[in-house]
Amino acid sequence: MLELQDVCFTIQKDGEASNLVDKVNLKIPRGHFMAIVGPSGCGKTTLLKTIAGLNPESAGALFWEGRNLSEEGDLDPSEIGYVPQFSIAYDPLTVDESVEASTRLRVKVRDLEELDQRIDRVLEETGLAAIADRQVKVLSGGQKRRLGLAMELVSDPKLLLCDEVTSGLDPRSEREIVRLLHDLSRREGRIVLSVTHSLAHLELYDSILVLHEGRVAYHGPPEQMTHYFSVHDTEEVYPKLATQTSERWQSSWMKHRDSYYTKLERNRTKLIESGSLHLPPAPELLDPEEALPELAKIRTPGFFTQFTTLLSRRWRIFFRDRGQVFLQLAILLCFPVLVTLFSENANGQIANLSDTRQGGLEEYKEVERVKLGQVRVGSAISGIIMFQVILLSLMASNNSSREIAGERPIFEKEKFGGLRPTAYLASKVTFLACLVLAQSLWMAVFVNLFAPFRGGTGGFESHILFLLLVNGAMTAICLGISALMRTAEQASLLSIYLVGFQLPLSGAVLALPESVEAVTRYFISAYWAWSGSVSALEPKVLYAVKEVIDTELSGREACIYVLVAHIAAGLVAAWVGARRHQWD
């Protein structure tokens, strides 16, 4: 049984406390199908989220099968299913792949046979078996709602919460979904609560909860609702609510609820006696030794299983998104080519002054010629190194700026279902590390074919290291931004600004004032990668570069330490954002 006792959810509005859910009292037995209805803004979804534990109750208590959730913690992920209004599946995946991934993330199975049996059973229950090989992007609205249900049913939840799952559907699809929810409530004592705007098909529900401004105006049998509100049709209920304050409706309901609850109990008894409702023994009535296997039936998979499932799914989505694959290939091929367009001057030889002193005008001309050659070569080499650094920073922004923010609703839903943030973040870091490795190595090797890196022993290897570090640093920082922002648009915009400031604040083009440089330098990844690579040049080339720059160079070790710190800071930000609750 699910019981709510004087449950409130309060927010601060204009400096004053406002109850979005106000002293809700309910008793919902096992095997019950209840609709939550009411005008827009009456608190339907807020109440559902409070029951789910997404909104912590401000007052009152919730009880589940005799357990005080307010004191003993939220429901276990396997006990509850939450089906939001938005789609919780990836468009490139098929129905079968979506359900399989959900199962692997939420249920610890003994072997592949058990996994297949669970998937097949859920597909049959929701009527999706015939379209299991279709991609999510081609499904109709009703089919997507069934898929959302299927992805929740993989863990056999005893409490299923549905938020507007029938909105936007045609009448036939709406009735099919309501009928499916009705059937699901008749299995294994499952409670199904459905928030809906629609007042159609109410006869399929066991009870109707009517909310008005966060308060209970009615909770009873659907056939008694018109009588209670003194209207001829259910469509007249909402206008009727507006004729009185929510306080008066709540007071009226408290006076009459016992008689309506008696009718609900009679209806329930008839269902049990007719065999329409089959209830397994209540867990609290079972012997502890008998209840233990039942309680241990569904367990959340471990870190490694969730990690490999997420990583495999990410690569599958990547390769099926032709636009993203084409963009990555285009960037990977075109950016290094852009760098090589400026390689001619970088390949020039740096002339030395002759040993024979000519004196006069001829010696002056020779000095000017040598300096001009040094400036040309030094400027080209410095520019090519910085160009590589900036282009890799752009690649990094494209890699990760939308990686978490772009799938935030799905991630939050899966986290609610038992997904470990550590497994999720580890899968993202592994996927992005592969992109960073491919992009940085290809950039370094391709450019080196046309403009060989003019370093001493180990100079080219040092240059590769710094390209890897700057790409990794910017990828990690943009991943952190993606995790902290609420929308993909915000994350992308902030990441673009971050990359845009890398060149002017690096000091590679124009030296910054010392007062500004002292503040900004430690936050500019491009400077440390450029400085580290330039410091690895052979002495004569390094001297030529120093002739054309006014910015002080930092040592190789310092550059490595700072870039590693940038990577660590980005990962910490991503960890904080991944753990933070951002359910919309």
DSSP state of 537: B
- Whether 268 and 387 map to the same domain: the answer is no
431 with 394, same domain: the answer is yes
Host H or E run for residue 207: strand 207-212
Residues 341 and 268 in one domain: no
Structural domains of the chain, count: 2
Of 85, 46, 29, 42, which Cα lies nearest the Cα of 237?
42
Listed in sequence order, the DSSP H helices in 126-215 are 141-153, 171-185
Which residue range is the domain that position 537 belongs to?
303-579
Cα 395 to Cα 496: distance, rounded to the nearest angstrom:
11
- Distance CA(195)–CA(41), nearest Å, equals 12
Q: 357: pLDDT confidence band, cut at 50, 70 and 90? A: low
DSSP-assigned beta bridge partners for residue 2: 28, 64
**Partners of 337 in the β-ladder:** none
Better-predicted residue by pLDDT, 207 or 198: 207
Domain end among 295, 323, 354: 295
In a domain, 88, yes or no: no
Query: Of 235, 269, 295, which residue is a domain's last?
Result: 295
Looking at residue 287, what is its pLDDT?
A: 54
Whether pLDDT at 54 is above 60: yes
Establish if 357 belongs to a structural domain: yes
pLDDT tens profile 534-557 = 888 888 777 777 777 777 888 889
Determine, yes or no, domain membership for 513.
yes
Q: Are residues 267 and 323 in the same domain?
A: no
DSSP string, 220-232: E-GGGHHHHHT-S
Give me the residues paired with residue 7 across strands.
Answer: 24
What pLDDT is attached to residue 354?
47
Q: Tens digit of pLDDT for each residue in 121-134?
A: 999 999 999 999 99
172 and 230 housed in the same domain? yes
Does residue 278 or residue 41 have the better pLDDT?
41
CB 338 within 8 A of CB 391: yes
Task: Kindly state the average pLDDT of the residues 178-185.
Answer: 92
pLDDT of residue 441: 96
Q: What is the mean pLDDT of residues 241-260?
A: 91
Q: Which DSSP category does 135 fall into?
A: B
What is the band of 352 on the pLDDT scale with cuts at 50, 70, 90? low
Q: What is the spatial distance between Cα 395 and Cα 477, in angstroms, rounded to a whole number?
A: 13
Q: What is the DSSP string of 51-73?
A: HHTSS--SEEEEEETTEEHHHH-
Clarify whether residues 546 and 400 are in a common domain. Answer: yes
Is the model's pLDDT at 513 over the cut of 90? no
Q: Are residues 284 and 326 in the same domain?
A: no
* Sign of CA pseudo-dihedral 180, 185, 187, 188: positive
Same domain, 345 and 471: yes
Whether residue 112 lies inside any domain: the answer is: no
Rounded Cα distance, 21 and 303, in Å: 37
Above 50 in pLDDT, residue 293? Answer: no
pLDDT at 119: 95
Beta-carbon contacts of residue 551 (< 8 Å; ≥ 6 apart): 506, 507, 508, 511, 512, 517, 527, 531
Q: In the chain, what percentage of residues exceed pLDDT 70? A: 90
68 in Cβ contact with 226 (< 8 Å)? no
Domain ends where: 274, 295, 316?
295
- Per-residue pLDDT at 336 exceeds 70: yes
Closest CA to 125 of 88, 160, 170: 160
DSSP state of 87: -
pLDDT at 370: 53
**206 and 324 fall within a common domain:** no
Q: Determine which of 210-214, 280-284, 572-576 has the lowest per-residue pLDDT on average.
A: 280-284
Euclidean distance between CA atoms 404 and 400, whole angstroms: 8
Angle of helix 95-106 relative to helix 303-320, nearest 10 degrees? 160
Task: Give the mean model confidence (pLDDT) for residues 432-459.
Answer: 89
CA–CA separation, 463 vs 556, rounded Å?
10
Q: Burial of 432 by CB count in 10 Å (0-12 exposed, 13-18 middle, 19+ buried)?
A: buried
In a domain, 132, yes or no: no
Mean pLDDT (whole number) for 197-213: 91
Is residue 443 located within the same domain as residue 514?
Answer: yes
Residue 374: the pLDDT is: 59
Residue 129 covered by a domain:
no
Question: 291-306 burial, b if ≥16 CB within 10 A, otherwise e?
Answer: eeeeeeebbbbeeebb
pLDDT(373) > 60: no
Give the C-alpha separation, 542 to 455, whole Å.
9
Report the pLDDT value the prediction gives residue 272, as an integer from 0 to 100.
86
353: pLDDT confidence band, cut at 50, 70 and 90? very low
The identity of residue 576, as a single letter, is V
pLDDT value for 538? 83
Is residue 451 within a helix (H) or strand (E), and if so which, with residue range? none
- 548 found inside a domain: yes
CB atoms inside a 10 Å sphere around CB 512: 19
- Average pLDDT of 158-186? 91
User: At 184, which CATH number?
Assistant: 3.40.50.300
121 in a structural domain: no
> Average per-residue pLDDT in the chain?
87
Does residue 414 sit in the same domain as residue 553? Answer: yes
The answer to whether 104 touches 115, Cβ cutoff 8 Å, is yes
Residue 339's pLDDT is 87
Q: Give the neighbor-by-neighbor strand order of the sheet with 207-212.
A: 80-83, 159-163, 191-195, 33-37, 207-212, 215-220
Task: Please indicate, yes or no, whether residues 275 and 388 belong to a single structural domain of this protein.
Answer: no
Q: Quote the pLDDT of residue 418.
A: 92
Q: How confident is residue 294, by pLDDT bands cut at 50, 70 and 90?
A: very low
Q: Are strands 59-64 and 67-68 parallel, antiparallel or unpaired?
A: antiparallel
Q: What is the pLDDT of residue 292?
A: 44
Lowest mean pLDDT among 223-227, 233-237, 275-279, 335-339: 275-279
pLDDT digits (tens, 9 = 90+) for 295-307: 446 889 999 999 9
Structure confidence by residue, pLDDT tens digits, 20-50 = 999 999 999 999 999 999 998 899 999 999 9
